[in-house]
Structure 1
Amino acid sequence: MSPYEIVLITAMALITFAIRYTLSAAGHRVRFSPWVTQALNYVPVAVLTAIVAPAMLLPDRQQLDIGLENAYLVGGIVAIVLAARWRNLLVTIVGAMICFFAWRWWLG
């Protein structure tokens, strides 16, 4: 690793730590408006979607794949349906994983 990379990684770590420490140390004194508090409830869903959607739609990281031969997409759709129907994390994870692996096995 070059010295430039070490400095860059160290700077990023320090900036990340400073932001998180500042928010945790002074966070109890900061009051958000009800509108901001309500908007912040959607942040985890938005972040998770931003992480999962590309993995489902671009399984080879090259080209969009929205066909039935994409086991990631089929498993993701099953996970959405299970989560909406039962609202149980364990049912969603186990059901979607079973569907994903069964679909991959069935496609060969």
Structure 2
Amino acid sequence: MEIRMEIFLIIAGAALVTFIPRVLPLMLLSRINIPEWGMRWLNYVPIAVMAALVAEELFIQDGNLSISSNKAELLAALPAFFVAVKTRSLLGTVITGIISLMVLRYFF
């Protein structure tokens, strides 16, 4: 098996482009003392990202706001939301959402 230099450079470049944005902020922020208000603010970033991803999946259809086409997903999101609020467990929330959607799709 022959390894061409172009393929090797593409793989190495992709690895570098993936590695730098993850490691550079970690290296810089580990040396900086972030104030308490900044740490509280950063705690909400994963929640905001997850909410944006879920909301887009539930409410956007073909680039337009559409609530009527995703009825099973909306119903499955309700128990998942309550588990998320009550337990604050990502694993429990995901499992609840998957099981809820499976049950709804089985019966409807």
Is the TM value for this pair above 0.5? yes
Matched with 2:80 is: 79
How do 1:51-62 and structure 2 match up within 5 A? Answer: 51-58=53-60, 60-62=61-63
Q: Percent identity?
A: 29
Would you say 1:94 and 2:69 are equivalent positions? no
RMSD: 3.0
Structure 1 unaligned runs (5+)?
A: none
Q: Distance in 2 between matches of 1:89 and 1:21?
A: 24
Aligned residues: 99
Are 2:77 and 2:97, in contact at CA under 8 Å, matched by a contact in 1? Answer: yes
Structure 2 unaligned runs (5+)?
A: 1-5
Q: TM-score, normalised by structure 2?
A: 0.66
Q: Equivalent residue of 1:32, what SS?
A: coil
Would you say 1:28 and 2:8 are equivalent positions? no
Q: TM-score, normalised by structure 1?
A: 0.66
Are 1:68 and 1:74, in contact at CA under 8 Å, matched by a contact in 2? Answer: no
